[in-house]
Amino acid sequence: MLLISLLQENNEETLTAVTEEEATETLYESDDGNAEEEGPATSPTNLSSLPVKQLYKTYLIKKIKKCDLEMEHFKQQIQKTKTEILLLEHQLREMRIHSKKKNIVVAVLLVIGGLYVINHCDFLAVFARSPETVHHKLTWQADRLVSMESWIDQADYLSFNVSYQLLAGVLPTQQKYLSVGLSSVKRKKGSYLVPTLKSIFSQSSPEERSFMVVVVLLADFDVSWRVDTVKEIKSAFASELEQGHLLVIHVPQDWYPPITGLKRNFNDAPERVTFRSKQNLDYSALIHYCAGLGRYYLQLEDDVFSAKNFLTTIKKRVEEQEGKKSTWATLEFSALGYIGKLYKSAHLPLLARFLFIFYQEMPCDWLMNHFREVMTQKETILFKPSLFQHMGTFSSFQGTYNKLKDKDFEEDIYTNPSAEVYSDMSTYQKHFPKLAWDAGEGFFWGRTPEKGNYLTVVFTEPTVVTGIFVETGSGGKDILESGEVEMGHNVVATDKEKSCTEFESVGAFENGKFKMQELDKKYSSASSCLKIKITATQKDWLIITKIRITTKPTLPHQ
């Protein structure tokens, strides 16, 4: 602008002075530090010789180029700034996403922690219940006796969190020999729980009762039914509850997984699927609770009748099985469903989880058979005669009629010891004398018995006999018409058989049967032989169906 003003005033002297100073700067300015040539070479010595207009033109060109370079540089700076802004926006978005994820993780952890506290403390449920319905709580971490023989319970592997309510009874302070578990629900027709418990306790001696604890799970969600049932049990079994021989427990409904809308395996009706699935869960909780209560666990139902001294018989069978040093997971003392199944305490935590995991797949007795096979016991180990009989007439499922009975059950169960059996009567086919002594359906069949004939049982070890039962005949035929039972001492052996040198008669047969109890009160010393002696010749052949004795029990150590 200054040059233009000066040109307009035609003041060439001033123009020359100004132009020389600025033109010199302009001609030698460059962004890269090098002078840019434009036309003829110029130098500070010859600027004065250039025309004014030429200097003005050169000055403007250089200024314009410089502005262009500055503009380009400015554009680059703008582009760089935009890139940095985009990068910052991207980083900000990443930070926001990460922050959201972090918040979600924190929220999930808080929820899980809250659920853990609620499940273990159950404090919300306590506030929700009325004082009348709040029962003393038993948790498996605190008050459930833990099975230290199980690798699961030793270090809390495979956590299985169940909260139990103790409705009646006193938890034992130490492990018993046997825990007996049964689950009960409300039935549409009849109730067999109290008769079942009465049978368990009445068929056991005071000594046997001290070696076992019975656990009843009231598994129905009907509160009023549970209250009434507990009152009935407390009234009938006050001493058993007080002495720690009987416990009554309940598991809250909120522990159960879904039991409706399940898949219909085997095309079972939905109601049937719900019933058997819940039953599996009931037994899962019951078995888990009983894991540490006894060295062995016996599974029963709430509608069974027990044989006399069943605990002593179970102990004997367990000792026999352990003596074989073979692997076993289940011993069966009844052929019916899941009645009379015996398990080791060490296996119960596994069995409880097994039933829980597969609860909706199949009925309980099927699952228990699969569990036996998984535990590497291929064959069923079933003892006869059975120790438990089904007494119920109506099923717990919809009150349907149930006439199921165990044909091998004997109410007065006997404890025949190891023995050899001999007879001087001719045997028909393969009905040998030993079959009358052994448990099962076998029997001895002898041809034309004569006076003086005998069948002698020689005990492996001298035994104190407390009771004898002998049954003969079949369908009213081939019974023993005249005979007696003798007890003997001092075993002697011949080439053909063994016998005793001294015998004493204890009684005669009546109508083909002989039965005597409390024999030890009259004959307290140990005997070595039992003889059935024919006292009169008869025309009919002789069938001896069974020879059963009871012996003085040797109780287990707790």
For residue 487, what pLDDT band results from cuts at 50, 70 and 90?
A: very high
352, 369, 390: which is the final residue of a domain? 390
CATH number at residue 177: 3.90.550.10
More confident residue, 399 or 420: 420
Average pLDDT, whole number, for the chain? 80
**Pairing of the two strands 542-551 and 419-423:** unpaired
Output the six-digit token pair for 331.
């011993």
Instruction: Report whether pLDDT(511) > 70.
Output: yes
Domain count, the chain: 3
Q: Is the pLDDT of residue 75 over 50?
A: yes
- Domain boundary (390, 406, 428) is at 390
Task: List the domain range (segments joined by +) for residue 302.
Answer: 137-390
| pLDDT at 365 (0 to 100) | 82
- Please tell me the distance from the alpha carbon of residue 289 to that of residue 162, in angstroms, as a whole number: 9
Q: Is the pLDDT of residue 237 over 60?
A: yes
**Domain-embedded: residue 258:** yes
Q: Are 364 and 338 in contact (CB under 8 A)?
A: yes
pLDDT of 484: 97
Predicted confidence (pLDDT) per residue in 85-114, tens digit: 888 777 777 777 766 666 666 666 665 665
As a whole number of angstroms, the distance between CA 542 and CA 558 comes to 45
Q: 374 near 320, Cβ under 8 Å?
A: no
Q: Which DSSP string corresponds to 515-539?
A: EE--GGGT--S-EEEEEEEE-S--S
Query: Does residue 41 belong to any structural domain of this protein?
Result: yes
For range 132-156, the mean pLDDT: 53
pLDDT exceeds cutoff 70 at 183 = yes
460 and 434 share one domain: yes
Q: Are residues 302 and 196 in the same domain?
A: yes
The predicted pLDDT at position 113 comes to 61
Mean pLDDT of 541-547: 95
CA atoms within 13 A on the CB side of 464: 10
Is residue 235 domain-resident?
yes
Q: In this structure, are 111 and 158 located in the same domain?
A: no
Q: Tens of pLDDT along 320-344?
A: 888 887 889 999 998 887 789 999 9
* Whether residue 227 sits in one domain with residue 101: no
Residues 357 and 252 in one domain: yes
Residue 354, in any domain of the structure: yes
Residues 106 and 149 in one domain: no
Give percent above pLDDT 90 in the chain. Answer: 42
Q: Let me know whether 286 and 177 are in one domain.
A: yes
pLDDT greater at residue 135 or residue 266: 266
Q: 363 and 249 share a domain?
A: yes
Return the pLDDT at 19: 45
Residue 400 falls within a domain, yes or no?
no
> For residue 51, what are its two tokens?
């025309």
- Looking at 121, 150, 176, which one is the last position of a domain? 121
Q: Are residues 171 and 96 in the same domain?
A: no
Reply yes or no on whether the pLDDT at 215 is more than 90.
yes
What does the longest C-alpha to C-alpha distance in the chain come to?
175
For residue 509, give the CATH number of its domain. 2.60.120.260
Residue 78: inside a domain, yes or no?
A: yes
pLDDT at 393: 58
Mean pLDDT value of segment 417-445: 91
Q: What is the pLDDT of residue 457?
A: 97
> Does one domain contain both 482 and 359?
no
Does 403 reside within a domain? no
Instruction: Give the three-class secondary structure for 170.
Output: coil
Residues 500 and 423 occupy one common structural domain: yes
pTM: 0.57
In a domain, 174, yes or no: yes
Residue 433's pLDDT is 96
pLDDT in tens, 289-324: 999 899 999 999 988 989 888 998 899 889 888 888
Q: How far apart are CA 381 and CA 372, in angstroms?
A: 10
> Smallest Cα–Cα separation from 217: which of 188, 243, 255, 189?
255
pLDDT of res. 156: 66
Whose structure tokens read 């020999």? 177
* Amino acid residing at 120: H
Asked whether residue 318 falls in the same domain as residue 439, the answer is no
Please tell me the predicted confidence (pLDDT) of residue 555.
Answer: 54
